[in-house]
Amino acid sequence: MDWFPLWNSLRIAAISTVVIFITGIFAAWRIAKLPRFLKGLMDVILTLPLVLPPTVVGFFLLKLFGPYSAIGGFLIKSANIRLVMNWYSAIFASVVVAFPLMYRTARGAFESFDPTLRFAGQTLGIPNWKIFWKIVLPTCKQGILAGTVLAFARALGEYGATSMISGYTPGRTATISTTVYHLWRTGDDAQAYLWVLINVLISFVVLLTINYLESRQSPNQSAQELER
């Protein structure tokens, strides 16, 4: 049995999650502090990939990174790097599609963060970056972790945009989801069932993790609620 699709899916999801973790937190922190109108606008733009059909996302990505686009064309000519139809092309797709999940959960956590904690840190002379790392992030840990797991799950299950930008090449670009589609097309039910089972198992674990994180009400939050 060829385990490549599992390995490929996992590395794509893992790399995407790292990228999303950093950009999502950064965007959420910045946007949570914006004035209302700008916040609404940025929110719509960054959430759009969540509601658009993945094929639309795939279409945009191909127009952006394809060999005839400015970026894609330049990279092929100058460095012979082809951004599409490679295993890592799928990272673009899953980053764009899964980003809103991370961004929205993190933003929710930041918005429920008590600003007087930040003010207290500032009056004590703690630099703003340190307040963010030592006070804001630990306090919002639950929300951020939940967002990360959700984003990982979504990245792992990405199909539509991935199949457009990465295609299906066994042993090169095949992921679990594209493999299942291919096996169904070729009528290989036994193999298809196996991959479906693997996929269900992974999703199961992911959802269990999220539930665990959400049920484990952080002591900080409950204490703050008591004080109000």
Partner 1 sequence: MLKANFKKQLHTFELDIDFQADLEVLGILGPSGCGKSMTLKCIAGIETPDSGYIELDGVVLYDSARKINLSPQKRHVGYLFQHYALFPTMSVEQNLLTGIRPDQAKDSREKSKQVLQTLKLEGVEKKKPHLLSGGQRQRVALGRILLNSPHILMLDEPLSALDQFLKWRVQLDLLELFERWQKTVLLVTHNREEIFQLCDSVTVLTDGKNDAKQTVTELFSAPQSLSAGVLAGYRNFSKIEIIDLEKGLFTALDWGVTLDSPKLTQNALHCGAFSQSLKVLGETDQETQNVIPVACLHQFGKMENESLVCSTPGGDTGNSILYIELHKGETLPPGKSESFHVSIPAQDLIFFNG
| Least Cβ distance, residue 27 to partner 1 (angstroms) | 23
Q: Taking CB under 8 A as the rule, does residue 17 contact partner 1?
A: no
140 with 204: CB under 8 angstroms? Answer: no
Q: Taking CB under 8 A as the rule, does residue 51 contact partner 1?
A: no
Q: Taking CB under 8 A as the rule, does residue 121 contact partner 1?
A: yes
Q: Which pairs count as long-range contacts for 186-189, CB under 8 Å and 24+ apart, including other chains?
A: none
Q: Report the residue number, 117 or 194, with the smaller CB distance to partner 1.
A: 117
| Least Cβ distance, residue 28 to partner 1 (angstroms) | 19
Query: Of residues 141-160, which lie at the interface with partner 1 (CB under 8 A)?
Result: 141
Sign, CA dihedral 10-13-16-18, equals negative
Neighbours of 48 (CB within 10 A): 13
* Residue 106 vs residues 124, 128, 137, 149: alpha-carbon distances, Å: 26, 18, 10, 12
Alpha-carbon span 228 to 223, nearest angstrom: 9
Alpha-carbon span 167 to 223, nearest angstrom: 50
Q: Report the residue number, 70 or 226, with the smaller CB distance to partner 1.
A: 226
Q: Taking CB under 8 A as the rule, does residue 35 contact partner 1?
A: no
Q: Taking CB under 8 A as the rule, does residue 32 contact partner 1?
A: no
One of 7, 26, 74, 119 touching partner 1 (CB under 8 A): 119
Q: Taking CB under 8 A as the rule, does residue 122 contact partner 1?
A: yes
Q: Taking CB under 8 A as the rule, does residue 216 contact partner 1?
A: no
Q: Taking CB under 8 A as the rule, does residue 124 contact partner 1?
A: yes
Sign, CA dihedral 5-6-10-16, equals positive
Q: Taking CB under 8 A as the rule, does residue 112 contact partner 1?
A: no
**Binding region for partner 1 (CB under 8 A):** 114, 116-117, 119-127, 134-135, 138-139, 141, 219-224, 226-228
